[in-house]
Amino acid sequence: DYLACCAACNHSPEFVSIRMLFEWIESRDETSAERGRCTRESIQEVWPEIQKLGQDVPALDDELWQTLDDDGNGFINFGEFAELTTKHKLGLPLGLDDLLEHSSANLKCGVFDCSCNNFKGRRRRCKYAEKASKGEGDECYNKKEDHRSTFCHPDDEDWEFHGDKEMCRCGHKKKLHASGASGAAAVPYPSYWSQASSCLPGAVSEGDGSDAAEFSERPEMGEDMLKRLQSLVTDTYSDVTTRDR
């Protein structure tokens, strides 16, 4: 595992997603056996990196920590951490592609100086075609689609890049690729939503040409709908707080 190797070599990893950054911070905490949360001490170690990646990230003082740790249990979870990174615009995608089923074709390589924008897994060479290329047998006559999609042949563009399907043709593992989507675009929305298409990666606003990956429309709400929403909040809200979870 990449993060484990970096830890063993005492080397700072190249972060390709918010999730990887959180997992690295989490791995630095040796005081808690429970995963999925980070202490202030472990975050403090990586805070200079967070400040470098984000915009106007302040020092991690008591006031900021209390804001992050809103329930006062001494830890922050991934949701709280993602809220921080979104607020300060860290230039990394969330990295939840395996959970949100982003297409592999939309995964960009996060390795420094790599220009790969679309993950393309390497296919193994057809053993018959490989023998034929060495003059040790006849060419492959299997034309079935499942065979052709699983194995590469001399006339395929990836014949020279054969190998592990979890390895991209750019030479880097799939784990080092992540969706370029961020904010609202990182979550697939129903196609019938009026602004769903504007939340796709690469979409721009019609006005100033800036990224349009967030919902901004504020539609008029009828009196009846307002009453129904108010009734929902009134019936479900409970004024109970706790300092643990």
| Residue range 165-196, pLDDT digits in tens | 778 878 787 777 776 555 545 555 556 566 65
Distance CA(42)–CA(74), nearest Å, equals: 12
Distance CA(164)–CA(122), nearest Å, equals: 6
| Residue range 15-38, pLDDT digits in tens | 878 888 888 888 877 665 567 788
Answer yes or no: are the C-beta atoms of 92 and 53 closer than 8 Å.
Answer: yes
**Full-model pTM:** 0.47
How many C-beta neighbours within 10 Å does residue 182 have? 21
DSSP alpha helix (H) spans, 101-188: 127-133, 145-150
If you write DSSP's letter for every residue of 180-203 in order, what string do you get?
---GGGGSPPPTTSTTSGGGSTT-
Please enumerate in sequence order all residues whose Cβ is within 8 A of that of 10, keeping only pairs 6 or more positions apart, or say none. none
